[in-house]
Structure 1
Amino acid sequence: MYSPKGYQLHGEGTGSKQLTDAAFADMKQLTDLQLSAIVTETQGAKSAK
């Protein structure tokens, strides 16, 4: 989520806590520009049906 203070990460779900924590740690290292590029790329992706 983007706020005036920048991107804020949070998670929810039933997946592996160990894997989620590792992914969260990786994502915290990304810059605002890198996160923005990821958002732009996913918005342009077609959903599989």
Structure 2
Amino acid sequence: MEIRKLKPCFFCTVSGGFRSALIGGNFWQGAATGLIISGLNNEMHKLFEE
């Protein structure tokens, strides 16, 4: 996988964790949710590009 395609996944993972912690939740659960959402989004875009 290319580095430029990993940047959005990394950003969504970190921002999901920060958002969760900001509202009083668990950072790691928010990070996991952000990673799953960005990963699924990335895969959907790959499907429709081909």
TM-score bracket for the superposition, by shorter chain length:
0.3 to 0.5
Q: Would you tell me which structure has more helix in proportion to its own residues?
A: 2
> How high is the TM-score relative to the length of structure 2?
0.34
The higher relative CO (CA closer than 8 Å, separation ≥ 6) is in 2
Q: Would you tell me which structure has more strand in proportion to its own residues?
A: 1
Bigger Rg, which one: 1
> How high is the TM-score relative to the length of structure 1?
0.34
